[in-house]
Structure formats: structure tokens, C-alpha cells
């Protein structure tokens, strides 16, 4: 299972546990309340762990891309015909500023990274 799907499943579990905790608090069932508080703490800890893993992977990917020897901002015409551009440039990686990778790298415009100039 990939990290994104696992994170989604854990968030669903956390939501379910919180709803059940609220119902147990309404009933005043102390044993169940303690059980769900432990479950919530465990799931929250796992969520933070997965988010840390995602951040590390994103940082690693960003540094790998930054190590490519050539980069430049793509023109609107190149952005419009991305398929043609990718076919003509071997190893081209396009980073958009609104993606997680783009935010991590601090890119402000659509930028192409490649091993050779293009």
C-alpha cells in the first residue's frame, strides 16, 4: 500500500474513533472512553510518522531533480505542447509550482530540469 492510501485510511480510522469516543462520552462509559483515547493516540502517532516519511521522500526527490545539470522556466508554448517537449528532451522532469514537489523545491514558475540543455 502506498503512503498516500495508508494516510487516507488512517485518517478515516481516526475520524471513526473520534465519533465513537464522542458517543461513549455521551453515555459515560469510562472503559470505552479510555480504549478509544488510546486508539486515537496510536493512530495519530502513525499518521505523523507517515507524514514524516512523505516529507523525506519529497525532499529526496527534490534534491535528485535539483542535481540535474540544466534547468529553465518553460514558455507558455512549451507548456501547451508538453508531449512534444518531453519526446524531444530525454530525461526531462517538469515541476509545477502548485504541486507538493514544486512547493518543496521553492519553484515559482513551471520549470523543466534535464541532464542536457534544451
Contact predicate 113/92, CB 8 Å: yes
Task: Identify whether residues 88 and 51 lie together within a single domain.
Answer: no
Alpha helices per DSSP H over the chain: 3-27, 30-66, 76-80, 82-88, 100-105
Predicted pLDDT at 118 = 84
- Give residue for cell 455521551: 26
Task: Identify whether residues 56 and 74 lie together within a single domain.
Answer: no
pLDDT at 1 over 70: no
Report the C-alpha gap between 36 and 24 in whole angstroms: 9
- Assign residue 97 the CATH number of its domain: 3.30.1370.150
Angle ∠(112,114,118) on CA atoms, nearest 5: 80
The percent of residues in the chain predicted with pLDDT above 90, rounded, is 86
Model confidence, pTM: 0.73
Task: Identify whether residues 56 and 4 lie together within a single domain.
Answer: yes
The total number of structural domains that make up the chain: 2
**Residue 53 burial (CB count, 10 A):** 13
Q: What is the pLDDT of residues 65-91, one digit of tens each?
A: 999 889 999 999 999 999 999 999 999
Task: Identify whether residues 44 and 98 lie together within a single domain.
Answer: no
Domain containing residue 115: 68-118
Task: Identify whether residues 39 and 95 lie together within a single domain.
Answer: no
Task: Identify whether residues 41 and 1 lie together within a single domain.
Answer: yes
Contact predicate 69/47, CB 8 Å: no
Amino acid at each position: 500500500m502506498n503512503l498516500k492510501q495508508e494516510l487516507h485510511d488512517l485518517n478515516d480510522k481516526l475520524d471513526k474513533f473520534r465519533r465513537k469516543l464522542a458517543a461513549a462520552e455521551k453515555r459515560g462509559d469510562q472503559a470505552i472512553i479510555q480504549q478509544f483515547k488510546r486508539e486515537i493516540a496510536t493512530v495519530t502517532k502513525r499518521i505523523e510518522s507517515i507524514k514524516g516519511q512523505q516529507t523525506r521522500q519529497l525532499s529526496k526527490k527534490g534534491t535528485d531533480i535539483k542535481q540535474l545539470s540544466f534547468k529553465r522556466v518553460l514558455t507558455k508554448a512549451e507548456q501547451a505542447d508538453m508531449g512534444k517537449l518531453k519526446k524531444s528532451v530525454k530525461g526531462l522532469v517538469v515541476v509545477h509550482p502548485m504541486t507538493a514537489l514544486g512547493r518543496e523545491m521553492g519553484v515559482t514558475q513551471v520549470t523543466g530540469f534535464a541532464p542536457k540543455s534544451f
